[in-house]
Structure 1
Amino acid sequence: MSNDDNFQGTNIDHLTKELALVFGQLKRVGHVFSPSKELRQSESNLLVYLTYLCPPGSNGIKVSGLSKQLKITSAAVTHVIQSLEQNGYITRTMDASDRRSILVTATEAGHEFVGARETELFERFQHLREHLGADDTEQLIRILAKSIKFLNTYEDSAASKR
């Protein structure tokens, strides 16, 4: 595409296109944990959220609460939970205060799995930090945080206009 190309009637400059392409590439590396041989990406994501929301010793979280946190349907959460439970990474228990509700929590094996993955993650980002240097790392954090805030606000305002 040239700089003069129109996208749905709007003239988009080269820098804007490049910015959009780079953000698109972030999605490809956006799964911060490297692929696991034991778990699918959806299972890994849910387990990570669960360990953050419910530290060891906590009672757990309802499927509906986990669904809201992950922004996916309760049916999808239930499907992933079944697989994680079969692999010994989570347990389901009845909520003592509401016997109709099921609470989900990570097992010790689930917390260990996430802990090992976090170690890999932080090592990878330590290498990136060393590659960029302290100043560029601080600038990248500032710019990404500012961009995410803008895009979330933009998305919220676009949704309210619908």
Structure 2
Amino acid sequence: MSTDHNNSDVTIDHTTKELALVFGQLKRIGHVFSPSKELRQSELNLLVHLTYVSPPGTNGVRVSELGKQLKITSAAVTHVIQSLEQQGYISRTVGPKDRRSILVAPTKEGYDFVEAREKELFERFGQLREHLGTDDAQQLIRILSKSIKFLLTYQDSDETRP
């Protein structure tokens, strides 16, 4: 198979093209949590992440740290936090050591919301495991893990370029 890009012929073998197409499909279904009627995807992503980095009983996480961890701007984090706070899924408090820092943490409603979504997620992946069978599921895990590790080398090298 040949494709014309900028007047140069590029030959792409069938397997390479299939790999690219399958990974493109994975990107389209990449959000493993099913769409939420209550939250936008950005809100869901932040809330899920926050429940992992700020388990019950902890003080929370600084807004600036959330932005770094999620690789989004402080303005974007602030916008999402405001929305989640209005909906009762997170709360803000003043940092105990530095009164200038604001900490955010999930509320009980936030933890409960994520827990319910995780239950749905694990049920769905349990069904996938049953559909594939244990051996194929383990092979898929091995192959996807190996692929992700390889593809991350490109992401890491892109991030270090000036």
TM-score (norm 1): 0.94
1: CA distance, partners of 2:13 / 2:152: 23
2: CA distance, partners of 1:50 / 1:115: 13
Q: Residues 139 and 7 (structure 1 numbering): CA distance in 2 closer, same or farther, change over 3 Å?
A: farther
Counterpart of 2:98 in structure 1 is 98
1:48–1:114: 8 Å Cα contact kept in structure 2? yes
The within-5 A match list for 1:12-161 is 12-161=12-161
2: CA distance, partners of 1:53 / 1:33: 18
TM-fit CA distance, 1:97: 1.1
Counterpart of 1:5 in structure 2 is 3
Same amino acid, percent of matched pairs = 71
Aligned residue for 1:99, secondary structure, equals: coil
2: CA distance, partners of 1:46 / 1:159: 22
Greater Cα offset, 111-120 or 91-100: 91-100
Give the number of equivalent residue pairs. 160
Aligned residue for 1:147, secondary structure, equals: helix
TM-fit CA distance, 1:11: 2.7
2: CA distance, partners of 1:66 / 1:159: 19
TM-score (norm 2): 0.94
TM-fit CA distance, 1:62: 0.5
